[in-house]
Amino acid sequence: MTTSKQSTTSADTRPAPVISVIGTGYLGATHAAAMAEMGFETIGVDVDPAKLAALSAGQVPFYEPGLPELITKHVATGRLRFTASIAEAVAAADVHFVCVGTPQKAGSHAANLAYVESATRGVAENLTHPGLIVGKSTVPVGTAARLRRIVAESTPAGIDAELVWNPEFLREGKAVEDTLHPDRLVWGGASEAADAVIREVYAAPISEGTPVITTDLATAELVKVSANAFLATKISFINAISEMCAITGADVSTLSDALGHDDRIGRKFLNAGLGFGGGCLPKDIRALMHRANELGAGRVVGLMQQVDEINMGQRQRVIDMAIESAGGSVLNRRVAVVGAAFKPMTDDVRDSPALNVAAALHLRGAQVTLWDPEAMETARRSFPTLTYAGSMVEAIEGADLVLVLTEWDEIVEADPVALAAVVGQRVVIDARNCLPADAWVRAGWTVRSLGRPAPVAGAAPSVAAGATDTLATAR
C-alpha cells in the first residue's frame, strides 16, 4: 500500500503518513493528541463545532490527566488541528482512525453501530488517494467484515482502500500513558503493505519493546471485549465472595491480598466493593452477551448475565446497608455521598454505581448531599435534583450517615478526626473498602464495609487522638 500527501520525512526519506482521527470523544481526542506527540501531522474530525473550538483552544470536555496539556502543545506546534469537514481531513491524510462511540442501543443489550458505519462510509466516500482505514472503536465480532463491504461499495473507482482493526485498551485516568506506552498492540486483517504502515505509525512504542500481536479481523475485535469481560468477571467474582465473607465473618480484603500473591491470579481488580460502571465495561459485556446469543454461544451468555447481575446487585447491597444504618428508613435523613465518578481520576458518571446509589437514596426520601473532586458538573447534569457541596467537609457537615462511593485519594487520605468534628452521626459506609478503618474508628466513627467483619463502634464521647478502639482486621 502506498501513501501520499504526507508531512514529515523519516530516516529512509519516505514521507511519514498524515493521520486523520474520526471522532474526538474520549478515545479520539486522546488518540489524536498521542499521534501528534509521536511526530505525525494529525487532523481530528467531529460534527460538534463547540467541541472542535474547545479542543483547538486546548480545552477538553472531560477530565483526563495530561490530555489538555498535550493537545495545547501540539496545536501550538501545528502537528494537531481539528475540523468539521471529513472531506478535508480525508483528502489530507493517509491513515484514518475510526474512533467514534458504540453506545448501548436503547431497549437492547446490542451495541449501536450507526456511528461506526457512518464514519467508515464517510472516510471511504471521500478518499482521493489510497488510504488505510483503521477501526479502533469497540465493536461486536463480525462488524469489521461488514464494514469492509461498506468500504468496497463506497470508495471511488480507481482508489485503493483497506480496512483493518486495531482495538484500544485505554484506562480512564491513564489514557495518555496507555496510548503513548501501551502494554500491547493488536491489529487484525492487515495485508503486508498495511502491516508496514501500521508499524510505521506505532514505531515509537514498538521501539520501546511493546509486544505486537497481528491476527485476523474477528480475533482483533474479540480481544477488546474479552479483556473487558474478563476484568468485569474478576470484579464480580470477588464481590460474590464478599457476600460469603459477610455471612461468615471472613475478611474479603485479606482474602484478596492472599489470592493476589498467586501470579496466576494477581491482585488487580480484586477489590470488593460497589462494583464497576463507566462507559465501557457495562455496555461491552452486554454487547458481548447479545452477540454471543446471536451466534449461539450460550455459555458466554450465561456467564456474562451472572457477571452483570452480581455487579448490579452490589448497588442494592449498599442501599440496603444505608437504610439499615439509618434505623430502617432514610426518609428525611441527611446523607452525605462522597464520590460520584464511577472510579477515581475521571469525571465520567456514565452508569456510575456511586451516582446510582445517591439517586436511589434521594428517591427514598433522603436529603442527599454529594461531593466529588472532579465529577460535580457531569453528576449535576445527570441528576440536577441532588444537592451538591463545594467540599468534602461541606458535604459531611451535619450528616446522619456518610457513604464513601469512589476511592479518590482526597477521600482516602481525609482526616477522620476533623470530619468527626462536623458530622452529625459518626457512621460511615465504606463501599469501596478503601478507608484506613482503624484510624476512622479511633476518631470515633462506626465503619461499615462490604465483606469485612462487623465493625467495632468508635468511642463516641471523644475524638481525641489516642482513643483505643480499633477494627481487628483494619487495613
- Give yes or no: 99 in active site: no
Q: What angle do CA 45, 57, 37 make, to 5 degrees?
A: 65
Q: Give the integer Cα–Cα distance in Å for 405 and 247.
A: 22
Element (H, E) at 337: strand 334-338
CA dihedral 53, 56, 59, 61 (to 10 degrees): 60
Q: Give the integer Cα–Cα distance in Å for 101 and 441.
A: 45
DSSP state of 301: H
Tell me how far the alpha carbon of residue 1 is from its chain's centroid: 35
CA distances from 171 to 31, 99, 454 (A): 13, 15, 34
According to DSSP H, which parts of 103-208 are helical?
114-125, 143-154, 175-180, 192-201, 203-207
Which one of 99, 245, 280, 434 is the catalytic residue? 280
The separation between the first and the last C-alpha atoms of the chain, rounded to the nearest angstrom, is: 57
Cell digits of residue 314 = 452490589
Amino acid symbol at 196: A
The residue written with cell numbers 450465561 in the block is 302
Contact 44, 54 (CB under 8 A): no
Q: Give the integer Cα–Cα distance in Å for 359 and 386.
A: 7
Residues 48, 50, 51, 52, CA torsion sign: positive
Provide the β-strand partners of residue 455: none
Comparing CA positions, the residue from 388, 396, 383 lying closest to residue 370 is 388
Q: Give the integer Cα–Cα distance in Å for 362 and 149.
A: 49
Q: Give the integer Cα–Cα distance in Å for 437 and 15.
A: 59
Amino acid symbol at 191: S
CA distances from 446 to 323, 336, 414, 470 (A): 15, 15, 16, 10
Edge-to-edge strand order for the sheet containing 387-388?
Answer: 387-388, 367-371, 334-338, 401-404, 427-430, 446-449
Contact 421, 463 (CB under 8 A): yes
Contact 373, 379 (CB under 8 A): no
Supply the residues annotated as catalytic.
280
